[in-house]
Structure 1
Amino acid sequence: MAARLRDLRLGAGQPTYRRLSRQAGYSAATLARAASGHSMPTLEVTLAFARACGADPEPWRQFWLNAMTQQYRADAPQAVAMANTRILARQPWTPEPVADGADPEQAGCAANAITAHAERVSLIDKRIIIGTIEIRHSVVDHAAWVRFEGFHSIEHLASLHHLEIDLAIVRDADNFEKRARMDYAFDVHWSDLLLTSGGPLQGSVRVYIDGQIAADHLTDAVTLS
């Protein structure tokens, strides 16, 4: 993926990362890191990088998914071995079985998870991006959950107002839902998990500012193994 991004930037005339940053909405450091090859960029960063270089982002969505599939295959044996030896049980909390409604951290799923889908979240009727909602997937444990990560814009709002995050994940086959509402804590927030064996999943996030809904986002349905 990193090599593709570097080639794309070269084909666009090799603009500086500072210039790409103004068009992509991500910092120059984030874009440079995406093209460095040291770690896999998120889907949102990949698509923003492509748009900033003047490319159609849709083919890049498939490139990213293909790269993640390859990473699944490479990482799964090691993740299975870790799960079997219960290394994750050494966490300072009581481990939970992997089941509908479990906390992904306590069930040990978070350590072998990747972001299977990500979308930006904006304020209602305003062109202000406040964060991303991600569907996290543990291919080893066949489980998924949603995670919200705020941008600087929401941190500014949280310094002035009382913010709450309402996260939910729904399994379409049986309409089973897990929902969690919490105060915004200037950190990543996540829902409980659902097993992925029951068909497509959808995630949602609502952001409340002083008790009023300020953002309401439903993701696309995603089918995971």
Structure 2
Amino acid sequence: MRFLLIPLLFVGAFASPVIVPGESQQVLTEGSLTDDGDVFPGWYDPRQYGGRFLDYATKRGRGEPLNVIISAHSDPFVLTEAGFLAYSQSIGFAQECLGLHKGYVHEADLGNGREFEHYLHRESYFPVLGTCWESLAGGNHFRAWKQNGTLANSGAWFLGVSREKDTSKHHMIVPNGYNLGRDWLVERAVAGSRWRGNWWKADVEWRAGLLEPGKRGVNHGIEQDGLVAILTVKRL
């Protein structure tokens, strides 16, 4: 089976998804915490309830940026687990190779206490077993948490997106990988996408002040620009 799989992965490597037109980060003290004032907010600022915009990637408290939010003002289907999986596939991601995971399971506090990652999706280079190639060759991936606890119950998805090296480099994040991975995902969301008869297109709002720019407390010591992309995904 191993020898049959390798040629398949090699042939599909050049295909791409179909896209259609103590060291932990401190809570920022400059300015007020985010409060949109909406009757039905698209998301809650985790810092209002003791959370943060870095996940927990190491025992020392270092984390990776939660740099994309899919707002609860999005298509209600996308806010469900099945819809989120479908939307993820439409913009070029899928669940891990053969459903297997190796490595540290991250946690995040979205204002409801620390929770393990709900999903880990990898770039899918081609329709069948496409994430297996990402596991070998590297690429874009994200971890996702849904904000649905007792205190902060928006229903929004919070994503930590990045671009990683190949397996020989132990999936270390590439230089500028947090910004690159985020921008790759946002570009596809804004361009519009489809999956099994469903068509979506996202609007994006860029927010500064949620993440501290730089590398303090950031896993792997890689700098990031501090911007968070707020996506509102609309069904067409």
Q: Select the structure of larger CA radius of gyration.
A: 1
State if a TM-score over 0.5 links the two structures. Answer: no
Could you tell me the TM-score, scaled by structure 1's length?
A: 0.28
- Higher fraction of helix: 1
Could you tell me the TM-score, scaled by structure 2's length?
A: 0.27
